[in-house]
Structure 1
Amino acid sequence: MMTEYVLILSAYLFSIGIYGLTTSRNMVRALMCLELILNAVNINLVTFSDLFDSRQLKGDIFSVFVIAIAAVEAAIGPAIVSSIHRNRKSTCINQSNLLNK
């Protein structure tokens, strides 16, 4: 019974993240929505790992790797956004064309 609630929470987080990622014009908001998507994936990994085989921690270990990737993204992403803001004076995704000099 608890599994359904956790999966519904994960589906809500994932759908909010996808909606925000596709509709956001701000790079910082897009990074936050990407974090929501990664957290929803982590919730699914831990839930299904506990549901199918609670003795092995494969899903839990894989979610630790996803958390590490999210931490790297949280460290590198704002640096890239601030570099783009310094050069282009805007963090709007529609206005930043990185191929033009």
Structure 2
Amino acid sequence: MGNSIYLLLSAFVFSAGVALVLTRQNVIAVLIGVELVFNAANINFVYFNALYPERLDGQFFALVVITIAAAETALALAIILKLYRTYHTTNLDEISNLVEE
């Protein structure tokens, strides 16, 4: 059980992220859910790298995921700001289309 605690933690973080993405209607909460899914992947990458220390694949992929997550967050926040300025809400149900009228 000692080593598998990291896999259980990763599964819990992944499940929480997916639950947020599927159940929330607020754009910011959905973005937080996506970030939790990325963090769950990072936990797995670092754990499996610790199992095989002669290979640096896990650390490399974790850095790639962190870089992609940072770029995704910057883009998502820009989109959220544009949606808020256009529709005056961040609720996904109230945004009917992505075309500015």
Same fold (TM over 0.5): yes
Q: CA RMSD in A?
A: 1.3
Are 1:49 and 2:49 matched, yes or no?
Answer: yes
Deviations 1:56-95 (A, max 9, x none): 1011101100000111122221111010000111111112
- Unpaired runs of 5+ residues, structure 2, are none
2:66 corresponds in structure 1 to 67
3-state DSSP of counterpart to 2:62: helix
Given that 2:84 and 2:90 are in contact with CA atoms closer than 8 Å, whether structure 1 keeps it comes out as: yes
- Unpaired runs of 5+ residues, structure 1, are none
Q: Give the whole-Å Cα distance in 1 for the aligned partners of 2:73 and 2:100.
A: 26
Q: Give the whole-Å Cα distance in 1 for the aligned partners of 2:2 and 2:92.
A: 39
3-state DSSP of counterpart to 2:94: coil
1:21 corresponds in structure 2 to 21
**Percent identity of the aligned residues?**
37
Q: Give the whole-Å Cα distance in 1 for the aligned partners of 2:44 and 2:3.
A: 10
TM-score, normalised by the number of residues in structure 1: 0.91
**Number of residue pairs matched by the alignment:** 100
Q: How far off is 1:2 after superposition? A: 3.2
Q: Give the whole-Å Cα distance in 2 for the aligned partners of 1:30 and 1:36.
A: 10
Match for 1:18: what amino acid? V
Q: How far off is 1:50 after superposition? A: 1.9
Q: How far off is 1:100 after superposition? A: 6.8
Are 1:36 and 2:52 matched, yes or no?
Answer: no
Q: Give the whole-Å Cα distance in 2 for the aligned partners of 1:2 and 1:70.
A: 29
**Alpha carbons of structure 1 residues 100 and 86: separation in structure 2 relative to 1, 3 Å:** closer
3-state DSSP of counterpart to 1:90: coil
Q: Give the whole-Å Cα distance in 2 for the aligned partners of 1:13 and 1:37.
A: 7
